[in-house]
Structure formats: structure tokens, C-alpha cells
Amino acid sequence: MPILYDNKLSRNGYKIRLLAAHAGLALERIEVDILKGESRTADFVSKNVAGRIPVLELEDGSTLAESNAILFYLAQGTPFWPNKPLDQTDVLRWMFFEQNAIECSVGTARFWKKLGKDQSRADAFAHRMEASLDGLSTLDAHLAERQWVAADRFTIADIALYGYVSVAPEAGIDLSDFPAVSAWLHRIEALPGHVSPEIKAKKMQGDAA
């Protein structure tokens, strides 16, 4: 069984757990306390040289890092990765957008706010918030004309973006300013396979809870 090295607060890790829930994939989960430096140990760095979670360790001992790369790998052969090259490219486009315009802005602003750094790093925090609003505005305009982000169906592009967009209020962002994004979030949360990010067990069989 593949092993997911994760942290309960990580939305990047949650993306993997959410796909596992939708696709019925069995994963063993190991908690990594990033605040205590457990992702910086020699053993962990041997799994991911960047010293970051999540990391997926396969049954042959090989490892995969970066949440969206892991999503891509696990989605192969599932309905969450389309067959047509143009649709595949569209999915990748929005996964790249997530990393460049959402994760590094919304994700960082949320993390800083949780640690109280929004006050100690006020100028940098303001810059992250401005970038967050720009990214969410782009996504809102895109979703105003469609139900799903790419390929006219729910894919790993939606899962990748959902991870941090859904917790934008924790960074101090009012999602009511983005009605198409808010409606999209509700659509995802209404899907039969949707699960919350709370961790209750190490082993998951199509269940991230």
C-alpha cells in the first residue's frame, strides 16, 4: 500500500486525501510534524530533497513529491484525468495556475495569519493578499461560464484548486466577493465522494477522514 507522508494542517496533503476518497484509493498515512522540523530530518530529506510534505512513497520504495505531481500520478486511469490531449492540457493549465496564483498567495497568507505573521510582516502580507485577490478574480471570471474548471467535468484541476481556495476565509478573504467561486465550492462539497480534511485514522480506503 502506498504511504502518504502528510500533516493534518496541510491543504496540499488534503488534496491527495480528497482524490483518494473520490477514486477509492487505499493509502497509509503517516503524520509529519513540520513545526517540529520532522520534514527536515536526514531520513525525510532522503524521500524529498526539498524537505516538504506531502510525499507519496510507493510500494517499491520510490517516492513522489509535490502535491499536484502526486495528483497527476494517482489520477491515471481514473475519471479524474481525461483521455483527450486537449482536455489533459487544460487540466494541467489550471493545476499550474493553482501553484502560481493560489497556493503561493492564498496558502501563504493563510499560514502567516495562523502564525500571527500578518502583523509582523504586514507589507509582505498585504502583497500576498493582493495576489490572492487577483488569482481569485481570475478563477471567478473563468467559473462564471462553466461548472468545473477544466474538461467540462470534475477533475484533479478542481481538487488542486479546492485545497486552498476553500480556506481563503482563514486568510481574511471574503469569498462572497467571488460568487462563481463560491458556487463552485458548494458543487464540490455536494459531490458523493467529498470528505472533510479532518484526520481520524492512518489508513484510508477511499476515505480521507
Q: Where are the domains positioned within the chain?
A: 3-78+194-205, 85-189
Classified by CATH at the fold level, domain 3-78+194-205 comes out as Glutaredoxin (3.40.30)
| DSSP designation for 64 | E
The neighbouring-strand residues paired with 66 are none
Q: Is 68 exposed, middle or buried (0-12, 13-18, 19+ CB in 10 A)?
A: buried
Classified by CATH at the fold level, domain 85-189 comes out as Glutathione S-transferase Yfyf (Class Pi); Chain A, domain 2 (1.20.1050)
Give mean pLDDT, residues 195-200: 77
State the SS3 of 47-94: CCCCCCCCEEECCCCCEEECHHHHHHHHHCCCCCCCCCHHHHHHHHHH
Domains 3-78+194-205 and 85-189 share a fold: no
Model pLDDT for residues 35-66, shown as the tens digit of each residue: 899 999 999 999 999 999 999 999 999 999 99
pLDDT number for residue 116: 82
pLDDT number for residue 9: 87
- What values do phi and psi take at 65, rounded to 5? -120, 170
Number of other CB atoms surrounding residue 10 within 10 Å? 21
Coil/strand/helix, residue 51 = coil
129, pLDDT greater than 80: yes
The pTM of this model reads 0.92
Give mean pLDDT, residues 128-157: 97
pLDDT number for residue 199: 61
132, pLDDT greater than 70: yes
Check: CB of residue 203 under 8 Å from CB of residue 28. Answer: yes
